[in-house]
Amino acid sequence: MTLDAEVDALRRVPLFRGIDATKLRLLAFISDRTRFAAGERLCNQGEEGDSAFIILEGSADIRVDTPDGEKTVARVGRHSIVGEIAILCDVPRTASVVAAEELDVLTVSKDDFLRLLKEFPDMSLEVMRTLAQRLERTTQDLAALKASGEAA
Amino acid sequence: MTLDAEVDALRRVPLFRGIDATKLRLLAFISDRTRFAAGERLCNQGEEGDSAFIILEGSADIRVDTPDGEKTVARVGRHSIVGEIAILCDVPRTASVVAAEELDVLTVSKDDFLRLLKEFPDMSLEVMRTLAQRLERTTQDLAALKASGEAA
């Protein structure tokens, strides 16, 4: 894919909406774009996290280790960001990410990602919104499961 | 409490670490500081959310409506921020917040909060970290409950 086509793909990601074309070009240039087959793992829980992933095409499962093996807790799709928790909180990967189908992914290094957030308040707000939405969904799931567990 | 004492209290909140004294003074001046008794409600799920709360002293329960009534899904303590999801995502309150003991709370309006986030990248990062940590804890709880449910 040419750099122009790549910049065009990035421009369609809501997360990058507030970033001007020159910076987007730089981002396309410094980031890795990778294709994953269904079932391939982008990262594993417990590993050190040195990058965030932005899904350009496809969807992935968020999987968490439990005493009874790995459980899928969420699915994320096109234009989602994943893997940012380890970067933000400076902790090992809190979940594994597994391609649910063929995936086209932009990998942004920790340093570049933090720099972007500092420089572009709109991108920060978008990351906050994403985290807040995921927290809300997970909290609802937890409450529903608690209620059904107590009812059973 | 004098404005100086108030600024001093705000200075100890990690969320405001990167904010200089003059701005902190302004924040103390424009924000409401309220005391809640144990059991009092800061906000109710489903209401419009026009402010965020920063807990200066005490702790509060995050409670979510389920078909079997209200369930506590998390407890937050001193220096935590709550109620920011409705502001960030422009949705009604996604949970109720109830004082677990006597609470001392700083109420920041939506407009002031968003302005602070835009102006202070360090505060944005801290909010992101808080959201990420809460998401991680909730995801772990959900995975554990899913595993125990399947084992039962």
B122 Cβ neighbours under 8 A, 6+ residues apart: B17, B18, B19
Predicted pLDDT at B139? 86
- Cβ-nearest to B129 among A88, A125, A133: A88
Contact A135 B131 (CB under 8 A): yes
Average pLDDT, integer, range B41-47: 95
Predicted pLDDT at A4? 83
Instruction: Judge whether residue B100 has pLDDT over 80.
Output: yes
Q: For chain B, first and last CA: distance in Å?
A: 53
Write down the domain spans for chain B. 3-151
Output the CA angle B132-B73-B31, nearest 5 degrees: 65
Average pLDDT, integer, range B21-48: 92
Predicted pLDDT at B151? 55
Predicted pLDDT at A150? 66
Instruction: Judge whether residue B152 has pLDDT over 70.
Output: no
Predicted pLDDT at A9? 83
Contact A124 B129 (CB under 8 A): no
Instruction: Judge whether residue B150 has pLDDT over 70.
Output: no
Predicted pLDDT at B24? 87
Which of A117, A146, A150 is the best substitution to test chain B (most B C-beta atoms within 10 A)?
Answer: A146
Residue found by looking up tokens 């980031």 in the block:
A31
Contact B138 A135 (CB under 8 A): yes
Which of B117, B133, B138 is the best substitution to test chain A (most A C-beta atoms within 10 A)?
Answer: B138
Q: Give phi and psi for A64, each to the nearest 5.
A: -125, 135
Q: Which residues of B touch A128 (CB under 8 A)?
A: 88, 117, 124, 127-128, 131
Which tokens in the block code for residue A27? 């981002």
B134 Cβ neighbours under 8 A, 6+ residues apart: A135, B74
Predicted pLDDT at A122? 85
Q: Give phi and psi for A119, each to the nearest 5.
A: -85, -30
Contact B68 A134 (CB under 8 A): no
* Cα B37 from Cα B41, distance rounded (Å): 9
Contact A68 B134 (CB under 8 A): no
Q: Distance, in angstroms, between A84 CA and closest chain B CA?
A: 8
B50-70 tens-digit pLDDT: 999 999 999 999 999 988 889
pLDDT category of residue B148 using cuts at 50, 70 and 90:
confident
Q: Distance, in angstroms, between A145 CA and closest chain B CA?
A: 7
The CATH number of the structural domain formed by B3-151 is 2.60.120.10
The residue type of A141 is: D
pLDDT category of residue B130 using cuts at 50, 70 and 90:
confident
Contact B125 A74 (CB under 8 A): no
Q: Which range has highest mean pLDDT (A85-94, B4-13, B38-47, B63-72)?
A: B38-47
As for the ipTM of the complex, it is 0.78
* Cα A87 from Cα A73, distance rounded (Å): 20
| Tens-level pLDDT at each residue, chain A (152 residues) | 678 888 888 888 888 887 888 888 888 888 889 999 999 999 999 999 999 999 999 999 999 998 888 999 889 999 888 998 888 888 899 899 999 999 999 999 999 989 888 888 888 888 898 889 888 888 888 888 888 876 55
Q: Which residues of B touch A143 (CB under 8 A)?
A: 64-66, 71, 73
Q: Distance, in angstroms, between B110 CA and closest chain A CA?
A: 13
Predicted pLDDT at A151? 55
User: What proportion of chain B, given as a percentage, has pLDDT over 90?
Assistant: 36
Q: Which residues of A touch B89 (CB under 8 A)?
A: 129, 132-133, 136
Stated pTM of the model: 0.79
Q: Which residues, listed in sequence order, are joined to residue B54 by a DSSP beta bridge?
A: B81, B106
Mean of the per-residue pLDDT values of chain B: 88
Contact A140 B68 (CB under 8 A): no
Nearest CA in chain A to B118: A121
Q: Which residues of A touch B133 (CB under 8 A)?
A: 89
Closest CA to A142 of B75, B137, B98: B137
Q: Give phi and psi for B15, each to the nearest 5.
A: -55, -30
Nearest CA in chain B to A132: B85
* Cα B30 from Cα B89, distance rounded (Å): 23
